[in-house]
Chains A and B, each alone.
Chain A
Amino acid sequence: GENVEQHPSTLSVQEGDSAVIKCTYSDSASNYFPWYKQELGKRPQLIIDIRSNVGEKKDQRIAVTLNKTAKHFSLHITETQPEDSAVYFCAVINDYKLSFGAGTTVTVRA
């Protein structure tokens, strides 16, 4: 199956700074790359996704970039706020299955 590696596993940032999470995948046929946010005790929720025909997508303070040649994609959060504290998962579609990265625990310090 698809192998998705996510780094870092934990990330602590000062409020107002940027956070970057990176993921790599193994199957070059993968064509859909979502990011999910999971707050403590809550369900994972989609925050942004990107498809293979696009190199970058932005939605307010979050953006995702995709490098299909290198098989990696990244989540960028700018002007971080306390409510951005959560676990973030990258994922990749392969054979109609979502394979998730191991997650990044982001803590925004006030």
Chain B
Amino acid sequence: DTAVSQTPKYLVTQMGNDKSIKCEQNLGHDTMYWYKQDSKKFLKIMFSYNNKELIINETVPNRFSPKSPDKAHLNLHINSLELGDSAVYFCASSQEYSSEPHYEQYFGPGTRLTVT
């Protein structure tokens, strides 16, 4: 009955590699998000998709490319990994992003990425 799931939970890789993180939600939500949580616990939005369309694209290096094959899935692909990419990446979902009062966001368990 997991609402928002992510794989893998842990990812250890070397600089320069390319990796992907997958996210799935079974809540029937229209909007999905990727957040990055750094070592100081600061949570910052990276991307958001609504019904497979990109609606939020924060100042993120273009080595990060999100892909939404359908509205239940939002994957994150990272090229040429750097040490500074080490963080916990959270996927989240919510009802239609522009409607009220459906703002609550449900977070996945996170993926801890370590780049060595």
Contact = CB atoms under 8 A, between A and B. Distances in A.
A46 B101 CA distance: 14
Contact of A43 (B41, B97, B98, B108): B108
A100 B105 contact: no
A102 B104 contact: no
B27 interface: no
B34 interface: no
Nearest to A103: B41
Interface in A64-110: 87, 89, 93, 96-100, 102-103, 105
Given A96-B97, A97-B56, A46 B44 contact: no
Report, as a range, how many residues of chain A touch the other chain: 20 to 34
Given A42-B109, A43-B108, A32 B103 contact: yes
Interface of B is mostly: loop
Report, as a range, how many residues of chain B touch the other chain: 20 to 34
Interface in B58-116: 90, 97-98, 100-101, 103-110
B43 A44 contact: yes
Contacts of B98: 96
Contacts of A45: 107
A98 B40 CA distance: 18
A100 B104 contact: no
Most chain-B Cβ atoms within 10 A of its Cβ — which of A38, A89, A93, A98?
A98
B56 A44 contact: no
A46 B105 contact: yes
A68 B43 CA distance: 24
B55 interface: yes
Interface of B: 40-45, 48, 55-56, 90, 97-98, 100-101, 103-110
Given A43-B90, A43-B110, 14 more contacts: A32-B101, A32-B103, A38-B41, A45-B107, A46-B104, A46-B105, A51-B101, A96-B55, A96-B97, A98-B45, A98-B103, A100-B43, A100-B44, A103-B43
